[in-house]
Amino acid sequence: MTTSSPVIQAKNVWKIFGPSPEKYLSGMTPGRSFDDIRADGYIAGVRDVSIEVARGEMLVIMGLSGSGKSTLVRCFSRLHDITGGTIEVDGQDIMSMNERELIDMRRNKMGMVFQSFGLLPHRTVLDNVAFPLEMRGQDKHARRERALEVIELVGLNGREDYFPRELSGGQQQRVGIARSLAIEPDIWFLDEPFSALDPLIRREMQDEFLRLQEMLGKTIVFITHDFDEALRLADRIAIMKDGAVEQCDTPDKIVMNPATEYVAKFTEEIDKARVVHARGLATPLNGAAIEGAAIDGNATIHELARILVNDTREILPVADKQGEIMGVMQRQAALDVLLGGA
């Protein structure tokens, strides 16, 4: 397994809800829009999506309510059988897996946090968190220990013996998070995992997932409605509309070069200077002469504001993480981003 091969590779994935979706899809003329499909009495949950998720990447999926985010993620974990296309996880076509293989994959590779938690109502916090371990057949003591560990991590210690209905919404959500943390999966599907958390805990949880991703190289597919959260976490952002992925790119590119009208509208309200990094604006040297000190490519334009305003050079050299010059940036372009001009 080389790191370059994607963990999840989806090709032309369709998920259509309705009476006989396979038949409908095979007989459908290409290029039918979401509304056309609805007029035919079907709902296109996912519409011709091709996407790859690299190992160790954090992919954030955004989009309006009902745009198919949850559905897409459910296709990745085969909670939904897809109607068309292929999905490969670690190079294996998940639609061709038999029940045993599917169970093994879910037990060992995948974890998921559900939008509305999906806690088992008859089990205590501890038993809910230990549930995946129990299903794997771990012995009682080991799973208890591990469960207590992650319960502590999400800050629920002292409530191990509570039942879900005895907890607040945010606490329930943390149980769901703890449950998915318990087995430390390679691939994580997080469906609005922090929506019910207060800002403080939310930030803590974000840090925790960032840490896990960086330290253990986990692959994470993350759904959120919160752009700030997306920016904080994302390597790439995919923006969905009516079941289709409109654009999937780094945050810088999404903001700077929206592929469609819709994406442009979606990112309209965002302060671009906080999103765009110097490296994002850098163009190759092409032998141009550089003068003076280089600026940090990993800084956002907002962070560089003072320099940009005070500096008089027209062209600024940009350095990468290691301090080597990776390109140059037009000061005017940066100022445009900063001041919202042009």
Ligand X SMILES: Nc1ncnc2c1ncn2[C@@H]1O[C@H](COP(=O)(O)OP(=O)(O)OP(=O)(O)O)[C@@H](O)[C@H]1O
Query: With CB under 8 A as the contact rule, which of the stretches 3-11, 119-127, 220-228, 301-309 interacts with another protein?
Result: 119-127
CA distance 128 to 113: 13
Q: At 184, which amino acid appears?
A: E
Is residue 8 a contact point for another protein (CB under 8 A)? no
Q: Does 69 bind ligand X (CB under 6 A)?
A: yes
Q: Does 122 bind another protein (CB under 8 A)?
A: yes
Q: What is the 3-state secondary structure (H, E, C) of 151-208?
A: HHHCCCCCCCCCCHHHCCHHHHHHHHHHHHHHCCCCEEEEECCCCCCCHHHHHHHHHH
Q: Total residues contacting ligand X (rule CB under 6 A)?
A: 12
Q: Does the footprint of another protein cover residue 143 (CB under 8 A)?
A: no
Indicate which single residue of 6, 7, 8, 45 sits in contact with ligand X (rule: CB under 6 A): 45
Q: What does the alpha-carbon distance between residue 235 and residue 277 come to, in Å, rounded to a whole number?
A: 13
> Reduced to 3 states, what is the DSSP secondary structure of residue 245?
strand
Site map 113..152 versus Mg ion, x via CB under 5 A: --x-------------------------------------
Q: Which of 6, 63, 193, 251 binds ligand X (CB under 6 A)?
A: 63
Binding string, residues 92-111; x marks residues near another protein by CB under 8 A: -------x---xx-xxx-xx
Q: List all residues 6 or more positions away from 330 whose beta carbon is below 8 Å from its beta carbon.
A: 281, 283, 314, 315, 316
Least Cβ distance, residue 67 to Mg ion (angstroms): 9
Total residues interacting with another protein, rule: CB under 8 A: 37
Q: How far apart are CA 257 and CA 263, in angstroms?
A: 9
- Kindly list the residues in this chain that would bind Mg ion in the complex (CB under 5 A): 70, 115
